[in-house]
A and B are shown apart, each in its own frame.
Chain A
Amino acid sequence: MNAPLDPRTPADLALSRPAPAQPCRLPAGGLVDRGRGLSFTFDGRRLSGLAGDTLASALLANGIHLVGRSFKYHRPRGILSAGTEEPNALVELRSGARREPNTRATMAELFEGLEARSQNRWPSLGLDLGAVNGVFAPILAAGFYYKTFMWPPSFWEKLYEPLIRRAAGLGRAPEGADPDHYERMHAFCDVLVVGGGPAGLMAALAAGRAGARVILAEEDRELGGRLLAEAEEVDGMPGPAWVQSVEAELAAMPRVRLLRRTSAFAVLDHGVVGAVERVADHLPVPPAHLPRQRYWKIVARRIVLAAGAIERPVVFGGNDRPGVMLGGAVRAYLNRYAVRPGQSAVVFTAGDDGWRTVADLARAGASVEAVVDARSEIPAQQARLAARLGARLVAGGRITGTAGWHRIAAVEIGDDRGCTEGRGADLLAMGGGWTPAIHLSCHRGGKPRWDDALAAFLPGTTPPGMSVAGAAAGRFTTAAVLADGAREGAAAARDCGFAATEPQVPRAEDTPDARVALFHVPASRGKAFVDFQHDVTAKDVALAHREGFRSVEHVKRYTTLGMATDQGKTANVTGLAILAEIAGRSIPGTGTTVFRPPWTPVAIGTIAGHHRGKAFRPTRRTPTHAWAAANGATFVEVGPWLRAQWYARPGETEWQQSVAREVAAVRNAAGICDVSTLGKIEVTGPGAAALLDLVYANTISTLAVGRVRYGVMLREDGFVMDDGTVARIAEDRFFVTTTTANAGKVLQHMEFCHQVLRPDLDVSMISVTDAWAQVSIAGPRAREVVAGLVDPGPDLSNAALPHMAWRAVGVDGVPARLYRLSFSGELAYELGVPPDLGEAVMRRAVELGATPYGTEALAVLRIEKGHPAGGELNGQTTARDLGLGRMVSTKKDCIGRRLAERPALTDPARPVLVGLKPVDARTPLRAGAHLFMPGAEPVTANDQGYVTSACVSPTLGHPIALGLLSRGAERVGERVRVLDPVRGGDTEAEVCAPCFVDPEGVRTRG
């Protein structure tokens, strides 16, 4: 007996079990909501967290440090940071079509039911067979891929790449099309403030109070920056409370917009900034009518960059072991999230900053085992703190190694006399100093400058309109950061014309950090990682240098340092410092790090927004679309247009049957076809004729009012651009048609010819494509059909309205135009009526006996007549090639005339338009097939031309084609081999004149 299948997923099942308590959550404090517990799963294990947690803080609250495997060596990795710079803790979120790989656990907000999985591990996170790569570490050093997988080339695709992709690599792509939608916003402001920490808040306050339109973009869910993570007071109150008071004031300002969860990722030209707002990433599913993310294109008159700073890891052996964290991150987990990331901690610092970590850990009840301070002189107050906590203090110390497997268990400490000692610890807080987040100041080519005193790169030349404030500008005390923000915010508002004054700067911590530069511990054991995400070690940098790479840009590419999805936020400066150390040069003498957009990875779908699928561009429908749909039309996309391709009738099982019937109707009776998609341009003014003489290769100015002329226009390089008809409506008014494809291009070209080449001409032009429904009525009975369509009165006789003439008519009393034009070679008219009359015209024409026909029949009719169209007007043909050479007037100047006379374009051996019919009168010819002399070897050197258009002619009863054949005009009656190696066609055809039906044009003129 089968048990019913349980529809619940493993994650559902995990969520149905009670979650364990969070062993590392502090009993009080933090900015998390203790009243709102949340359940989530990690690798199928049910866990709990609190509202306000990130996935990272919730994992740490549960005592989980091991969250992933590294890219190359599959080393166990933990959570390094508490913010946007995270290189290690990349996880997969959600499942199915919403599965999202490579998401930073430090940025993912916890929500009820969140499914998260570690990635890049096989078969499981704890037991990863790929870690064997670590055993082969000596051969996986820098440049390994380049050196090893070069030869033979054919092995790359079949063998090497799949292996590498299996072994190295990040998460998995989602399993279906993205079910969510994304949108784009355009916004304009006076002052854009990037970053909502203390500097950004003061800048927004200064500009907002002055009345400027301000946008403040903060990457985090909450404003406040480091003030949320530090245990310090501002203006006599806890940092977060001060943040709330400023936030309340800003929120009340109608001209200030606060964008939380918004990363400004690119600074573009002229004050344009691209930003992504994660509208619904923190929710299981986006609410109805809300996008998942929103792409903001912000045009700002002034930008204040207040992006803060990023703490640098120190490079020493085993610095990647889970449980090794940045000191600032440890404080963030303690103070903001009320999570104690370790019970027995060692702190490794090079200045006062690490002693804040010591104090915060002690306050949270962690045991501080040792403080390793790279400075040889320790301030007395700090030494007293260590003594009070019973922590071993190692002055002039270094961490020289770590032990443990899935989590750190002990560290090895070296002092400046060369002695080492071991210490047990489950947390190592490290910090080599802070790197200003100057990235956005470099996006337009600005070069950072090195500051020796701060041991940091600061913004050098900034883009016009951008100033940098706070830690991003190298201010490292809260008081200095607040003052800087106030100053830059006010200055930005003043630049925009507002009378801004600097807000009073609140009292805050103002002790400068006394520190020594600390990047690297050369004498340490084990792999010392510079770039955690790409597994680049200090040894790799040294190897690159040994192999002759000197430029930092080359070293980056050779080692892939800084080229992972985090773009080396925690790695670039350290890598540069190590390279400088090895090369015996200064850091600025070694190079700089420059940054390009995006600041953080941006999904392509976010930038595309709603411009995807059917909304990529609007679909254009002809005025008779609904009628055609109701009358059995099959539609074809022609550029943005939908056109009726054929009208199937009951009993017709193959499209060829419908097309053959429609062609026969035109040849024997009458047909009607919507040709409204042709571009239509009205050209008016005293200079209209002169302009058209310049634009068209043939002369237009001699055209009489009431007459129509076929026209061909060239590009200035002598090739054909487009063709169409020109009707002279009045002395100073012309109605021009273009091909469907070139409607926009031709109008733009005419405007160019007028405004740039002949501004002296008094002429104007406008597109009227949408102003007319235009139908072609063709066939021996076309005149009677037309007579039944138009209001009584006009003389439609051949004498009164001959071929290539037009006249004004009425349809239902509405002015309309009747042109006698033929594309099919039959007696034919084009009737132009206002668009809302289009369907009535179609309906009545059918009642009068006309057969509706689509674009397929239209194409067959024109191939039978040898008229060039898309296949022939391919940008590589001249008027002469198409048999239109005599149209190019030699009596006047025109665009393209001079270069059409180039020897290469008048070479008699050029392929010219010919007709082709299969010798066996049966085998279809195909467009794209190439032409050879019979018996000649089918190689490029013997290529004589190609087939441009082909069809089966219902009128002749056999296949026909048009083609371009070298010296074709002289070769009528000869045979050519028509070879189609791609699709497997090989037949012989006879060369003939391109016009297969009524070459004398008797029917057209009838």
Chain B
Amino acid sequence: MRIPCPFCGDRGNEEFTVLGAAGLARPAPEADDAAWHDYVHLRDNPAGAHRELWHHVFGCRAWLVVERDTRTHAVLSVTPAKERAA
């Protein structure tokens, strides 16, 4: 598997570690239990486009949002996690 890092170019997956779903909004401390349970424990498992957090741990050490088709493993987009919409 190859991931095109926005900083380092096309690199092999052995340089990365994967965390899991991207785009989860961390609830406010006062949010209810259900919101926190959802954030920490519940994950979707889509068949198709899926946004995941990958860390270029043996590279530039950027956390990246990799959009990947779980059926084909095609990488659809890669953006630095830091650049997420405010």
Contact A270 B29 (CB under 8 A): no
B26 contacts across to A, CB distance below 8 A: 757
B74 contacts A by Cβ under 8 Å: yes
Determine the residue in chain B with the shortest Cβ distance to A755: B63
Proximity string of chain B (27-48) to chain A, C-beta cutoff 8 Å, 1 when within and 0 when not? 1110101001001110000000
Instruction: Assess A893 versus B29: contact at CB under 8 Å? Given A272-B1, A755-B81.
Output: yes
Q: Is A112 interfacial (CB 8 A cutoff)?
A: no
Q: Taking A717-B40, A755-B62, A899-B36 as contacts, is the C-beta distance between A748 and B2 under 8 angstroms?
A: no
Check B55 for interface membership: any CB of A closer than 8 A. Answer: yes
* Inter-chain contacts of A760 with B (CB < 8 A): 86
Contact at B12–A755, with CB atoms within 8 Å?
no
Question: Chain A residues with Cβ under 8 A from B84's Cβ?
Answer: 756, 759
Please state if B2 and A716 are interface contacts (CB–CB under 8 Å): no
Which residues on A sit within 8 Å (CB–CB) of B63? 751-752, 755-756
From A444, A445, A756, A759, name the one whose CB has the most chain B CB atoms within 10 angstroms. A756
How far, in angstroms, from A272 to B75 measured CA to CA in the complex? 14
Does A922 interact with chain B (Cβ within 8 Å)? no
CB within 8 Å of A: which B53-79 residues: 53, 55, 57, 61-63, 72-75
Say yes or no: B57 contacts A748, CB within 8 Å. yes
Q: Are A752 and B19 in contact (CB under 8 A)?
A: yes
C-beta contact mask, A728-772 vs B, less than 8 Å → 1, else 0? 000000000000000000001001100111011000000000000
Residues of B within 8 A of A445 (CB): 72
CB <8 Å contact, B2 and A755: no
For the complex, give the distance between the alpha carbons of A921 and B22 in Å.
55
Q: With A and B bound together, what is the CA distance between A271 and B73 in angstroms?
A: 12
Tell me, rounded to whole Å, the shortest Cβ–Cβ distance linking B23 to chain A.
10
Task: For A186, list chain B residues within 8 Å (CB).
Answer: 12
Question: Number of contacting residues on B, CB 8 A?
Answer: 32
The answer to whether B1 touches A755, judged by C-beta atoms less than 8 angstroms apart, is no
A95 to B25, CA, bound (A): 62
A464 is an interface residue with CB less than 8 A from chain B: yes
| Distance, CA A445 to CA B81, complexed state (A) | 31
CA of A186 to CA of B39, assembled, Å:
40
Cβ-neighbour of A898 out of B22, B36, B53, B82 (below 8 A): B36
B2–A271 contact, CB under 8 A?
yes
Asked whether A897 is an interface residue with its Cβ less than 8 Å from the other chain, the reply is yes
| Residues of chain A contacted by B22 (CB below 8 angstroms) | 756
B55 touches which of A748, A893, A899 (Cβ 8 Å):
A748
Which residues on A sit within 8 Å (CB–CB) of B40? 716-717, 899
Shortest CB-to-CB span from A891 to chain B, Å, is: 11
Give B29's nearest chain A residue, CB to CB. Answer: A893
- Tell me which residues across on chain A come within 8 A of B31, comparing CB atoms: 898
Query: Would B2 and A270 count as touching, CB distance under 8 A?
Result: yes
Residues of B within 8 Å of A660, CB to CB, are none
Question: Which residues on B sit within 8 Å (CB–CB) of A297?
Answer: 12
The residues of B that contact A299 with a CB separation of less than 8 Å are: 2, 12
Query: Would you call A269 an interface residue if the criterion is a C-beta within 8 Å of the partner chain's C-beta atoms?
Result: yes
Q: A755-B81, A756-B81 are in contact. Are A269 and B73 (CB under 8 A)?
A: yes
* Cα of A1000 to Cα of B25 in the assembled complex, Å: 44
Q: Is A268 on the interface with B (CB-CB < 8 A)? A: yes
**Residues of chain B lying within 8 A (CB to CB) of residue A271:** 2
- Residues in A with CB closer than 8 Å to B33 are 902
**Most chain-A Cβ atoms within 10 A of its Cβ — which of B31, B40, B53, B80?**
B40
B1 close to A268 (CB less than 8 A): yes
Are A897 and B29 in touch, CB under 8 angstroms?
A: yes
Task: Choose among B2, B28, B81, B83 the residue that contacts A269 (Cβ–Cβ < 8 A).
Answer: B2
Contact with B along A886-902 (1 / 0, CB 8 A): 00000001000111001
For the complex, give the distance between the alpha carbons of A854 and B62 in Å: 37
Q: Which residues of B contact A444 (CB under 8 A)?
A: 72-73
Other than the given A272-B2, A445-B72, A893-B28, 8 more pairs (CB < 8 A) read A270-B1, A297-B12, A464-B74, A755-B62, A755-B82, A756-B22, A759-B83, A898-B31
Q: What are 19 A-to-B residue pairs whose CB atoms are below 8 Å?
A: A270-B1, A271-B2, A272-B1, A297-B12, A464-B74, A748-B17, A748-B55, A751-B55, A751-B63, A752-B19, A752-B53, A755-B63, A756-B22, A756-B53, A756-B63, A756-B84, A759-B82, A759-B84, A899-B40
Top-5 shortest CB links A-B = A270-B2, A269-B1, A759-B82, A755-B63, A269-B73
